[in-house]
Amino acid sequence: MIRKRLIPWVLSGFVLVPEMAIASVDFDIKGLDDALKDNVSIYIDAIPESERRLNFRLQARVADETKKALQALGYYSPVIGFKVEDKTSDTDATIVLNIDPGKPVLISEVDIQIDGDATKDDAFTKLLETAPKKGDILDQGKYDSLKSAIQSLAIRRGYFDADYTLSRLEVAPGLYEAFIRLHFSSGMRFHFGNVYYHNSQINEDRLSSMLTFKEGQPYLVSDLGAFNQALANTGWFSSVLVEAGLDDLRQDRVPISVSLEPAPRNQFETGIGYSTDVGPRVKIGWKKPWFNSRGHSLNTDLYVSKPKQTLESTYKIPLEDVQREYYQVQVGVENLDNNDTRSLELTSSVSRHWKYDTGWQRSLYLRWLYSDYTQASVSDISNLILPGINFLRVRSRGGAMPYWGDKQSITFEMAEPIWGSDINLYRVIGQTTWIRSLNNNNRFIFRANGGGVFTDEFERVPPSLRFFAGGDNSIRGYSYESISPKDSDGKLEGGSYLATGSLEYNYRVTGNWWAALFTDAGDAWTSGTPEWNTSVGVGVRWESPVGPISLDVAHGFENTDDNFMIHFSLGPEL
């Protein structure tokens, strides 16, 4: 059975015409510079298609819209010429507009007066530096923007009684002159008053430690926004609303109301992932974002994959400066069965953390590590107490797949028999990652990692403190942690030193899809000089809401087992 597609018809005059045949009257604007032309286009493009029919009514409408567009930019005496081209019907043609904008209207007088406390406010002085000047061509948009900006600035800076006593734009088209008159009375500037908390399950002293302002300071709406964000970042609340009590102003003070909704005391999350390093993996998380009224929190995570199973619990204790300083107590257990490594490790640690305005974070820690392991042909039990220090900075712009960012991290730790460790050991690890973009379509990523373990008893160093290379986030083209020194039986021993690097170029193909080209190199070794393992490859990136999903095909030049390897991963780049 053949189905015929019906074409709708509309009545045009007295003749039935297929709706799909109705064309449009277009406009070709000549004689204007870009700014004037663009503004005229905006005005006349707003004329509905249904009204675009060649007649005197359309001509009058186009002339009226053109004059409005030119007047907005200071041209009040244009000469507009109409010419019809390519006409096939009254609804299918091109109207050529030859426009002479004429002589512009110039600003002859700028009378801007501000009184009240704002006369001593540098923010208003700076804003008025952007005001139109005498002799400028009139731009009504700039006048309206300035008028709105003054009033908006007053509200943001606490001039709640401010208003215009005079606001007028006077135009004398015949004289080609315009006069700007803005008289603004700011009144007094209000200051922060008392802060009132509503429905908080956390002690008020904890909340007040995060205040970005003090009582009696001049009001700034940006300070309210910063305080709102600080409260939201704690994770203690499901909703936060910080607002000024404008209906309850007292003398020169404005009270601040903080409405809070506690977050659920128990939160659970599950996740499923996959990477070629560890295969399928499952995460189960249990979080108590606020354990008590002091804002302590508890986070427990279980990670399960074929080679590794980890259970870790972290208890966080905020200090007086809630946002910047805190203690963490961690306990964990990990079972690992990968390549030539078998280990069961128990860990616990206490750490002290600081965050700085520069973006750097510092942590001092003391951790205990118990490891029952077999590495290659050696089995042992190691008991270590490791004090250490870590410095970390992460910067990012551009969401889950940033166009700009970098990460630096360095860690020092040591073990000595004098405080109960089985061996003496010194360990350092450093890494850096840089993401930079030339424009919206070209990204470059550079990574470098290095480390060293210094000890006289390397055979007693647990596997988690040794170095291995290879895999999705190390040297692509080689399997996960397959690069390290080998014993006489060809089994992986792990290295005393590590050095890896990667250079990657991404090009946006379309939308959220990117192509990648990369080269990796590095080694894990114990003595002598490194034997560099190198690779090149190509890949695909999809910019998903949770971060880039990567699929790579890499060739490891020193990999004798596989000519090419496929790497798949999901996760942040920094």
Reported as a single tens digit per residue, the pLDDT across 478-496 is 999 999 999 999 999 999 9
Same domain, 286 and 316: yes
Same domain, 451 and 550: yes
Q: Is residue 241 part of a domain?
A: yes
Q: Is residue 6 part of a domain?
A: no
H/E stretch holding 498 reads: strand 497-510
H/E stretch holding 208 reads: helix 204-208
From the list 29, 27, 25, 36, the residue with the least C-alpha distance to 98 is: 29
**pLDDT for residue 294:** 94
Domain boundary among 262, 278, 311: 262
Task: Kindly indicate the confidence band of residue 236, based on its pLDDT and cuts at 50, 70 and 90.
Answer: very high
Same domain, 230 and 175: no
Domain count, the chain: 4
482 Rama sector, left if φ>0, alpha if ψ -120 to 50, beta otherwise: alpha
From the list 75, 39, 64, 72, the residue with the least C-alpha distance to 144 is: 72
**pLDDT for residue 2:** 33
pLDDT digits (tens, 9 = 90+) for 319-337: 988 889 999 999 999 999 9
* pLDDT for 7 beyond 80: no
* pLDDT for 10 beyond 80: no
What's the domain range around 148? Answer: 106-185
Q: Is residue 4 part of a domain?
A: no
Helix axes 56-71, 34-45, angle to 10 degrees: 130
Task: Kindly indicate the confidence band of residue 168, based on its pLDDT and cuts at 50, 70 and 90.
Answer: very high
Average pLDDT over residues 44-58: 88
Which pair of structure tokens corresponds to residue 12? 């045009």
Domain CATH code at residue 89: 3.10.20.310
Average pLDDT over residues 296-316: 96
Task: Kindly indicate the confidence band of residue 271, based on its pLDDT and cuts at 50, 70 and 90.
Answer: confident
Q: Is residue 17 part of a domain?
A: no
Task: Kindly indicate the confidence band of residue 239, based on its pLDDT and cuts at 50, 70 and 90.
Answer: very high
Task: Kindly indicate the confidence band of residue 11, based on its pLDDT and cuts at 50, 70 and 90.
Answer: very low
Q: Is residue 11 part of a domain?
A: no
Between 236 and 84, whose confidence is greater?
A: 236
Same domain, 330 and 228: no
Task: Kindly indicate the confidence band of residue 23, based on its pLDDT and cuts at 50, 70 and 90.
Answer: low
Q: Is residue 19 part of a domain?
A: no
Same domain, 317 and 396: yes
Burial of 496 (0-12, 13-18, 19+ CB in 10 A): buried
Same domain, 205 and 337: no
d(CA 118, CA 344): 68
Same domain, 345 and 331: yes
d(CA 326, CA 319): 5
Average pLDDT over residues 189-203: 95
- Which stretches within 344-392 are classed as H helix? none
Average pLDDT over residues 99-104: 93
Q: Is residue 471 part of a domain?
A: yes
Task: Kindly indicate the confidence band of residue 16, based on its pLDDT and cuts at 50, 70 and 90.
Answer: very low
* pLDDT for 90 beyond 90: no
* Count of beta carbons in the 10 Å neighbourhood of residue 430: 16
pTM, entire model? 0.79
Task: Kindly indicate the confidence band of residue 434, based on its pLDDT and cuts at 50, 70 and 90.
Answer: very high
- Residue tagged 């999350």 (tokens): 269
φ, ψ (nearest 5 deg) of residue 298:
-135, 135
Between 90 and 431, whose confidence is greater?
A: 431
Domain CATH code at residue 480: 2.40.160.50
Give the chain's mean pLDDT.
Answer: 91
Same domain, 467 and 451: yes
Question: Considering the chain, what percentage of its residues have pLDDT values greater than 90?
Answer: 82
**pLDDT for residue 287:** 96
Domain boundary among 48, 73, 100: 100
Assess contact for 379 and 373: CB atoms under 8 A.
Answer: yes
Same domain, 69 and 211: no
Same domain, 350 and 444: yes
* pLDDT for 119 beyond 70: yes
Q: Decide: helix, strand or coil at residue 71.
A: helix
Helix (H), strand (E), coil (C) string for 190-204? CEEEEEEEECCCCCH
DSSP code, position 36: H
Same domain, 166 and 206: no
pLDDT digits (tens, 9 = 90+) for 449-481: 999 999 999 999 999 999 999 999 999 999 999
Domain boundary among 128, 162, 185: 185
Q: Is residue 380 part of a domain?
A: yes
Same domain, 167 and 200: no
- Residue tagged 């470059």 (tokens): 444
